[in-house]
Structure 1
């Protein structure tokens, strides 16, 4: 209960005074905090150090510290403020839109269409057009031009710089990224025995695992991964009696996987996953696997513009938070704005949604 009470205070502090504000400077960012709030925020301790204040069990600390992997660091280095992630799930729960996450995208599409927004899909952008340090429009791969004084890029911000603006070398911001992922999508004939909606498989030696994955850019010897069986909550996501299974395996960045063939890597990971599941008594017989799709780090980079295959955008190190993070308004190009995981306030669906609202506020403020 002490942990929940402390994390609740941090949670309210983060969302009421820090995360959801467009700050123009470090001082502007921390100005709403009292000295006591700043001192007790946990930002001066590591996440693991913060968890040690409340838990003796290393297993509990490793479970709550595992969120660090998706923030691009280890619990031994990321700020203790991120204890709010475990609190958020414990206090607020996990929510699944009826029909799956894709139903959320469809609902937003419907809302936009009702407001008169024209949506073009299947049209890749070749470059953002700039003249006299201001946006003038965008050029599609088929050569068509769209003129506009304002552009919001939802492509990963570092990818926008390098691939759509052509910034290279010192002109491109140096950013530390979160790991890449291999994602596997399985349609199974039966409900897997011994599994629930959410399961996270952690390594026995967490510190060594983080060092391999994030510190040295290597695939850990003991593979951590996440498994979701959404049909446990919403059976309509698969035919009656069948299961839809999603697996996410954190991996080093694409630039650290150059020696791997992606198809061979997918097969290697699948075998290791099935072995680990069998050790835990979760039966997924290969003959019951009816549908199988895989997205490799290379697929994520190419299809969705994720820089170096990084799945969760820029890492949340101390100096990539708040005003230190990739800004949602380009400092060098007037009329160019960013949304997504690498800009403020950060990664994850809730934060990205809040970030879209913050970017909209920027645009409305800047419009003449």
Structure 2
């Protein structure tokens, strides 16, 4: 009798959304999976904070991180591919209506909704009938960004330079407008400053300024306006709870309060063999999936140089990740209120009068703006279980610059940036440096709190301050210490063009290249050289076998639905590498068994539609071939 094949094993570091979904998928495919999590709760940033004011009434519940459920198709797809559904797991999604109430400094308000009649009224109020026609054109463009991104980016892996040369992607890249900013694209359709701001603030969800974020990301506004904003009853953590529950039913072992000290490699540094825990225990496995912050992992869990197990040196590649552009951080306030505040909707945006300047302060000078734009979430408006009866739970997120290593690094403004100079009358702002003392942080948080309360009162007429019965906060420093987020950047690495696709750290862990890494610094030329060098080395030599990366800083990027897509990509990559069956791709059917008429439903796209874009991209692609060949030849000669 043939010996029974041994069950493959996997260790997942971190129980965030990406880690929990990957663990469930691998278990579904036949792996024995262990998840190790340093905190005493699952979910990472997608977790809850509770405050019990009284034993006789229900507690206040806060979403520590995400509070808007976008791209619902990814949530439904994930649960269905695991053999269940959101409904079967007891997860109820409620639609938020309106999407937002946007408050301006001049007392005006704009409501955003997935109801087209509401949007027609709102748009025509500011830009007339022609404005609404332009809005529908913008919605069409954003819809193309959405559909093409899902098909050709979010559900596709970009492991190498060759991945970006796929014709399906290359022929459509210009349609995605990656080389124009969201602000530039919006300005084509919206002619008033007010509506340009209304339809660009969403870039904050990518941790970027609308003046820098690629136009592609208008897909976020599209999904809000076409599919709506949703909220899981019981808090966003219910999604993670569902994934953890599915995984446990399939045998996944979750070990909380279990920190990883380092990832173990073989003697040559070519293959992962397990992890060493902080307490000294060693866990071995065939596969290791890292869901901790990627930059943190490369610098602290993989500190060894090429082919060594030394803890004294980090690789040049890990160092280069430290210098890549990062997303913003945030000051987050969690307020338990003594009564309801009906003036606030579930989602509220307060936009700064100096709109561009506030973003420049965050993303160019890495400061905490004196007069910021900020987001106010009232989950009890859509889910009454978030607060005691007749009361409200409020979370405020203020985007701020990420942490800098020293005060000297932060001195990029035309002012001092010190506590004493930061006031409410337009001074440069505060520098979120890691060297600031606890007293400095207390002062910064207090000043930001005062500004927020003043802004809310002046625009809504409600003095929220006296209503606060309990407050908790997260600052860039606590985001860093609580979740090991590099620089306290809450959304990982930036999503600029040269930080996405194949330029973004791959889902397959990269093996350092001692010949090339660090020779061209850490900018765009270095990333291009790394891609070309890795293509020359080949997959085996350029990756650490058996080690994979999932989460905000790995492809495809940040956000709960995007991390779910990343979990799918990583799980499929693991299974393909081990030549195992991918259960959710086998025998899939559409329509739940219903017979459909092929003649009626077959799509026959006119051959001329968008043909000029295809021909243009072909011409552009052919013109670039000699330059790519020349770069490869030069690099090979240099190596």
Q: TM-score range by the shorter chain?
A: over 0.9
Asked if 2 retains the 8 angstrom alpha-carbon contact of 1:192 and 1:282, the reply is no
Deviation at 1:277, TM superposition (A): 0.5
Asked if 2 retains the 8 angstrom alpha-carbon contact of 1:127 and 1:138, the reply is yes
Asked if 1 retains the 8 angstrom alpha-carbon contact of 2:183 and 2:215, the reply is yes
The yes-or-no answer on 1:64 pairing with 2:199 is yes
Deviation at 1:96, TM superposition (A): 0.6
- The residue aligned with 1:102 is 237
SS in 1 for 2:231: coil
Larger Rg belongs to: 2
The within-5 A match list for 1:71-110 is 71-110=206-245
SS in 2 for 1:100: coil
Deviation at 1:144, TM superposition (A): 1.4
The within-5 A match list for 1:155-234 is 155-166=292-303, 168=314, 170-172=316-318, 173-174=320-321, 175-234=324-383
Deviation at 1:36, TM superposition (A): 6.1
The whole-number CA distance in structure 2 between the counterparts of 1:191 and 1:232 is: 9
**1:25/1:130 CA distance change after superposition, 3 Å:** closer
TM-score by length of 1: 0.95
- The residue aligned with 1:262 is 441
The whole-number CA distance in structure 1 between the counterparts of 2:375 and 2:177 is: 27
The yes-or-no answer on 1:240 pairing with 2:389 is yes
- The residue aligned with 2:177 is 42
Asked if 2 retains the 8 angstrom alpha-carbon contact of 1:181 and 1:251, the reply is yes
Q: Deviations over 1:309-357 (max 9, x none)?
A: 0000111101011111111111212211111111111111111111111
The whole-number CA distance in structure 2 between the counterparts of 1:145 and 1:263 is: 40
The whole-number CA distance in structure 1 between the counterparts of 2:452 and 2:578 is: 51
The yes-or-no answer on 1:29 pairing with 2:168 is no
**1:238/1:63 CA distance change after superposition, 3 Å:** same
The yes-or-no answer on 1:291 pairing with 2:428 is no
**1:77/1:263 CA distance change after superposition, 3 Å:** same
SS in 2 for 1:33: helix
Q: Deviations over 1:40-59 (max 9, x none)?
A: 22123221111112110122
The whole-number CA distance in structure 2 between the counterparts of 1:287 and 1:221 is: 22
The whole-number CA distance in structure 2 between the counterparts of 1:157 and 1:36 is: 31
**1:51/1:33 CA distance change after superposition, 3 Å:** farther
- The residue aligned with 1:307 is 486
Q: Deviations over 1:126-174 (max 9, x none)?
A: 1111222211211121111111131111111101111211263623133
The whole-number CA distance in structure 1 between the counterparts of 2:487 and 2:461 is: 33
Q: 2:152 aligns with which of 17, 23, 30?
A: 17
Asked if 1 retains the 8 angstrom alpha-carbon contact of 2:339 and 2:391, the reply is yes
The whole-number CA distance in structure 1 between the counterparts of 2:335 and 2:234 is: 17
The whole-number CA distance in structure 1 between the counterparts of 2:300 and 2:574 is: 23
Q: Deviations over 1:169-217 (max 9, x none)?
A: 6231332110111111111111114111001111112221121110111
SS in 1 for 2:563: helix
The whole-number CA distance in structure 1 between the counterparts of 2:198 and 2:315 is: 39
Q: Which runs of 5+ in 2 are unaligned?
A: 1-135, 305-313, 405-409, 411-431, 512-543, 580-639
Asked if 1 retains the 8 angstrom alpha-carbon contact of 2:275 and 2:283, the reply is yes
SS in 2 for 1:220: coil
SS in 1 for 2:280: coil
- The residue aligned with 1:329 is 508
Which stretches of structure 1, 4 residues or more, deviate above 6 A after TM superposition? none
SS in 2 for 1:280: helix
The whole-number CA distance in structure 2 between the counterparts of 1:58 and 1:121 is: 49
- The residue aligned with 2:633 is none
The whole-number CA distance in structure 1 between the counterparts of 2:164 and 2:347 is: 35
Coordinate RMSD, CA, aligned: 1.8
Asked if 2 retains the 8 angstrom alpha-carbon contact of 1:212 and 1:218, the reply is yes
The yes-or-no answer on 1:318 pairing with 2:497 is yes
Deviation at 1:27, TM superposition (A): 4.2
Q: Which runs of 5+ in 1 are unaligned?
A: none
The whole-number CA distance in structure 2 between the counterparts of 1:110 and 1:284 is: 42
SS in 2 for 1:241: coil
The whole-number CA distance in structure 1 between the counterparts of 2:283 and 2:471 is: 38
